Amino acid sequence: MSTIDTRSPILSARGVRHSFGQTEALRGIDLDVHPGEVLAVMGPSGSGKSTLLHCLAGVLVPTRGSVTYGPSAGRQPVEISALSEPKRARLRLTDFGFVFQFGQLLPELSAVDNVSIPMLLGGTKRSEARRRSADMLDRLGLEGLGAKLPGELSGGQAQRVAVARALVTSPAVLFADEPTGSLDSLGSENVLTIMLELVREFGTTVVMITHDARTAAYADREVIVRDGVIGAGYRVSP
Amino acid sequence: MNRGLLKLAVVGSRSSYGRLTGITGGVAVGVCLLLLLWGGANGLNARDDRGAWLRETGSPSVSIPTTAGDPTASGPATPVPLTAATVLMRANPVEVFRDQLINRRDFAALGSTTVKIPGIASPPAPGEYYASPALQHLIETTPQDQLGDRFGQFVGTIGEAALPGPDSLIVVTGATETELRQSGHAFLVSAFTTNPYGASAAAYSTVLLIGAIAVFFPVLLLISIVTGLGAAQRRERFATLRLIGASPRTISRIAAVETAVPSLIGAVFGVVLAAVLRPATAQITVNGTRMFEADLATGWEAATAVVVLVVTASSLVAAYRTSREGIGPLGVTRAMQERTPNAWRMVPLLAGLAAMITAVLLIRVLEVRVPWLESPLLIGGFALTLVGIVVVGPWLTQLVSRMGLRQARSAAAVIAASRIQRTPVATFRSVSGLVIAVFVVSVFAGASSIIQEAEAPAARPGLLQPASLHATVAAGSSQDQVAEAARRAGQLPGIRSATIGYGPAALNQRDAGPEIFLRAEDAPGLGFEDIPETEIVAVDSSFLHYWTTQPLVLTRAPAQNLDGLVPVVIVVAADGTPEAMDRARTALDGSGVTAIPATSPLDIKLQSSARLVQGLAVLAYLGMFVAIAIAGLSLAVATASAVLDRKRVLGLMRLMGMPVSVLRRIITREAAVPLLTVLLLSIALGFLVAWLMVTGINDTYRVTWPATDYFAALGLSLVLALAAVGSTFSLIRAGTAITATRFE
C-alpha cells in the first residue's frame, strides 16, 4: 500500500485545457499517473472525464497545456500533445490499450480475429497473432469461444474479448472508459477482477473512467473531476 | 400519427440532413435518368414512325399474266397505268455521299394526283427535288459535281413530320414516268405505310425492350441503394423511439414517411432536371441523327407515374425493411444475420440462359418459327439472366471471400474478408450496379462486334475492286448516251478508267444473260490480270455482286464483236479518295442512263441489312455510358453508406491507433473482391447472351472480338469503381474522426 509515489510518472498532464467550440471541457488539469498504478477518474456527467482520458491518451490534443508520456527506462519521455496525428496513432497502437463501454468489437469478426487486429496492425504474422489471441482469450476465461461472433456472446463475454484485445499487445497504459458501464453488477465484478488481475501481472498502468464507486474501489487511487478541474483533493485508496 | 413526432423523427437531428440530402440527390438522378431514358425510347419510336413512309414499296407497276394451267410460265409484262389515286415511286437501295446513306425517293405523278407524299405539298416535277434541311445544307456546302448535280433543281425542304430526326438525309426527286418505268424498280403507291419495321418489327421491339431492361435495371438499383442510405443510423434512432413508447407500427410508418419525403422531393427535382437536360440529350446522335427535342418529352402523365411509383415503392420498401428488422426498445432485437447463400442461387441465371437457348434452338436447329413464343423467351431469358447475375453474385463472392479469409495476412484483409463472408448480399449489392453495367456493356459490345465483320473485301484480281463504282444501265438507253456518260466519268479527276459492260438486255430484264461482255483492252481497268488474247471477253454477271468472294476468270466471248448487245453496266475505277468517288457517283447518277444509283463495294458497311444492328451499336454505346455512370454513382453511395453504418466501430478502431490508410484499404477491398469475382462471369455471360440474341433475331451474323471501345469501356468501369471508392476516402477520415465517435 503506497501513500505518495515518488517514481517518475508514466503520464503527466500540466495545465491541460480543452475546449469544444465555446464550451471549455477542461480548465487546467495537473495530473501524474505512475507506472503500474490503477487510477480511477470519477465525476458527474459532463464534468470532462472522457475529455481528460482522450487528452492523456493522445486522442485529443489539449487546447493549452501539455501531456508527457514517460515510458520505462531506456526511452525518452515524449510530449504526446506535440506529436502529429499519425505519430500519436502509432503510439496508441503500440503503447496503449483501450476498453470502452460498448460497441467496440467488429461485428463480422470472430472473437479471436477481433483480438488479433492490433497485432496484425503492428506487423505480427496472422498465425502467431491468432495463437496469442487464443491464449489471451483463455486467460480471460473464454476458452472455446474464439470462433464466436460478438453478436453470439453475452455482454460480459464481449467485454472480456475487448479487454483481451486491449491487453494482447502488452500495452504500457490501459485506458478504460466505463468498461463495465453496460454490465450488471456480477458481470461487472467478473470483468474487473480478471482485468485487474492481468494488468497487475503485466505491470500495466490503468486509467479508468467510472461513475460507479464500487468500480472505483478496485483502483489504487481515484481522482474526481468536476467542471473541468480535478476536485480539491484526491486520495490514495487504502 | 402525431405530426410533431413525425417531424422530429424525420428531420430531428442534424446528422439526418446528410442522409436525407443523399436520398434526395440519388432519387433525383435516378428519376431524371428514368425519364430521359423513357423519353429516349419514345423518341426512337416516334422517329421510326415518322420515317415509316420511306419503307413503302407499293404495288407492282407492271402486271405479268400467268399462263393458264402452268403457274410458272408467264406472259409479257404490261404496265399498270398511273392514275390520280397513285404515284409512281422508285426506292433507291443506296444513295451514298462519303460514308453517309441518303434516303432517295424518285416520284412521277399525274398533275391531278390525290396522293399526299409525306413532308411536301405536292410531288416534284421532273428535274426538281425536295430535300431535308440537313441534306440541303450538305448540298450547299459541297461542290455541286460531288453531290448537288445528282438531284436537279431544289424546290423546297421536306417538313419535320416526315423526318426521323433533324440530321436525316432525305431527298424526294421528280422524274418522268418513262424514266422510272425503265429503271425496273418503280412501284405504284396509293398510301404510305405507318408501320416502321414491317416484318422485323418483332425483332426490333425485342432488341429495344432488352436494351431498356438493361439500362433501367441499374437506375432502379441506384434508387434502391440510395433509399437504404444510413440504415444503421436510422435503426439506432428507431430504437430510441421504441424505448419512449412508439409501437413497431409507428416505427414502420415513420420509416415510410421519412423515406417518402426526400424521395418525393428528389423525384420532383428529377422531373425538373430531366426537363432542363432534354435539349442537351436531344443532341446525342443515334443512328446517324440527333433527335427532335419534342420526341424526348414523356408528358406529365408519365412524369407523374414515375414520381408516384418511385415514392410509393421506396416508402413501402422502407416500411417493410424496418418491420423485418425487429427494432425493439434496446436496439435490434433479432440479429439480422444474412442467410448463407447457397448453390440454389444459380437457378435464375440458369433458367434465363435456358430460355434464351430454347429460343435459339427453336429458330436455328429445329427451324420452328413460333413468333408468340420467341420474343417472350428472349426477353424473359435476358431479364432472368440479368437478375440471375445479381442473385448468384453474393454466393460467388462468399466462396471467394472464404478462401480470401484463409489466406488473409493483414488487418485490412482480415476485416474486409470477414465482413464480406458474413454479409455477402450487402457487400455484393454495392457493386452489383457495376457488375450489371459490365454485363450490359459486354452484351452490347458482343452484339455490335458483328458490324466489324462487314468490312469491304480486299482488292483482288478477278473481283470487283473496292475503290470502284458500278451503275446498271436503264433499259432503252442509247449506245451514244451510255458512251458519253462513261467518257465524262472517265475524265473526272481521280478516275482511272470507265468501262462499259454489254449484254443481250438490261440487267433488270428477263432476257439479261448470265454473262457480261467487254472489250479485252478495258479488262485491266477492272482489275483483271489474266486476259485472253482476244477482242471481246466475258465474265459471269456475279462479278458485280459484292458478296462474290471467289475470283472470276475472263473467258473468250463466243462472238468477237458487240453486235446485237446493249450496254448494261458502267464500271468506274477510282483512286479511292472520297472526292473522286462522289464525283463519279454524281456524274453517273446525273447522266440519266442509270437504272439505280452507282454503288461501290465500300458501301457494304452502309447497307440496310446491317441497319438494325448498327442502330443497336449506337444505342449500345449510349447504354454503356448510362449504365457505367449510374453504377459508379451507386458504388460511391453504397460505399459511403457502408462507412456511415460502421461509423462508431471504425471510429473506435481509429481511436485505438488504426491508421486511416488501413480503413481505406478495408473499404477498397470490400468493393474490389465482389467486383472482380463476378466481373469475369459478367463478361463471359455478356458475350454468350449477345450471341444468343443475335442468333435469335434471325440473322446470319457471327459474334467476334469486340472493338477497342469495349476495352475502353471496361477500363472506364474499373476507373469509375476506383474513383467511386476514392471519393469516399474523405468521408472515411471525417466520418470516423474521434470527435464524431464521441457523440455517437
In degrees and rounded to multiples of 5, residue B239 shows phi and psi of: -60, -40
| pLDDT tens-digit readout, B266-282 | 999 999 999 999 998 88
B212 band by pLDDT with thresholds 50, 70 and 90: low
Contact across the interface for B657 and A92, Cβ inside 8 Å:
yes
DSSP string computed for B655-708: HTT--HHHHHHHHHHHHHHHHHHHHHHHHHHHHHHHHHHHHHTT------PPPH
Determine the pLDDT at residue B709: 73
Q: Is residue A207 part of a domain?
A: yes
Determine the pLDDT at residue A3: 44
The secondary element (H helix, E strand) that includes residue B615 is helix B611-645
| pLDDT tens-digit readout, A200-236 | 888 899 999 988 888 888 888 889 998 888 875 455 4
Q: Is residue A2 part of a domain?
A: no
Q: Return the domain boundaries, chain B.
A: 1-51+200-336, 53-60+79-195, 338-454+607-744, 468-601
Question: Any chain B CB within 8 A of the CB of A148?
Answer: no
The CA distance from A203 to A173, in Å, is 9
The pLDDT of residue B703 is above 70 = no
Per-residue pLDDT, averaged over B447-474, amounts to 73
A6 band by pLDDT with thresholds 50, 70 and 90: low
| pLDDT tens-digit readout, B328-365 | 665 654 445 667 888 899 999 999 999 988 888 887 77
| pLDDT tens-digit readout, B130-166 | 999 999 999 999 999 999 888 889 999 999 989 988 9
The CA distance from A47 to A229, in Å, is 8
The mean pLDDT of chain B is: 80
Per-residue pLDDT, averaged over A72-81, amounts to 78
Please name the residues in contact with B137: beta carbons below 8 A apart, sequence gap of 6 or more.
Answer: none
Grid cell locating B136? 440541303
Q: In Å, how far is A143's CA from the nearest CA of chain B?
A: 21
Question: Any chain A CB within 8 A of the CB of B669?
Answer: no
Domain ranges, residue A111? 11-236
**From the list B410, B648, B656, which residue is nearest A92 (CB)?**
B656
The CA distance from B182 to B594, in Å, is 10
The pLDDT of residue B66 is above 80 = no
Determine the pLDDT at residue A111: 93
Show which of residues 629-648 on chain B sit within 8 Å of chain A, judged by CB atoms: 648
Percent of chain B at pLDDT > 70 equals 81
Determine the pLDDT at residue B732: 79
Determine the pLDDT at residue B126: 92
Determine the pLDDT at residue B355: 92
**From the list B335, B410, B415, which residue is nearest A109 (CB)?**
B415
Task: Please indicate whether residue A101 or residue B128 has the higher confidence score (pLDDT).
Answer: B128
The mean pLDDT of chain A is: 85
Looking up residue A161, the CATH number of its domain turns out to be 3.40.50.300
Determine the pLDDT at residue A63: 92
The pLDDT of residue B456 is above 70 = no
Q: Which residues of A fall within a CB distance of 8 Å from B653?
A: 106, 117
Determine the pLDDT at residue B512: 82
Q: What is the pTM of this model?
A: 0.66
| pLDDT tens-digit readout, B530-582 | 888 889 999 998 888 877 777 888 999 887 788 888 999 999 999 888 899 99
Per-residue pLDDT, averaged over B399-421, amounts to 88
Determine the pLDDT at residue A236: 47
Q: Is residue A175 part of a domain?
A: yes
- Total domain count for chain A? 1
B154 burial type by CB count under 10 A (0-12 exposed, 13-18 middle, 19+ buried)? middle
The CA distance from B384 to B677, in Å, is 20
Determine the pLDDT at residue A238: 44
Determine the pLDDT at residue B743: 46
Q: In Å, how far is A8's CA from the nearest CA of chain B?
A: 25
**From the list B422, B652, B657, which residue is nearest A108 (CB)?**
B422
Q: In Å, how far is B388's CA from the nearest CA of chain A?
A: 27
Task: Please indicate whether residue B364 or residue A119 has the higher confidence score (pLDDT).
Answer: A119
Percent of chain B at pLDDT > 90 equals 17
The pLDDT of residue B664 is above 70 = yes
The CA distance from B377 to B356, in Å, is 6
Interface-testing mutation among B401, B656, B664, with chain A (most A C-beta atoms within 10 A): B656
Where is average pLDDT lowest: A124-133, B168-177, B266-275, B676-685?
B676-685
Question: Any chain B CB within 8 A of the CB of A153?
Answer: no
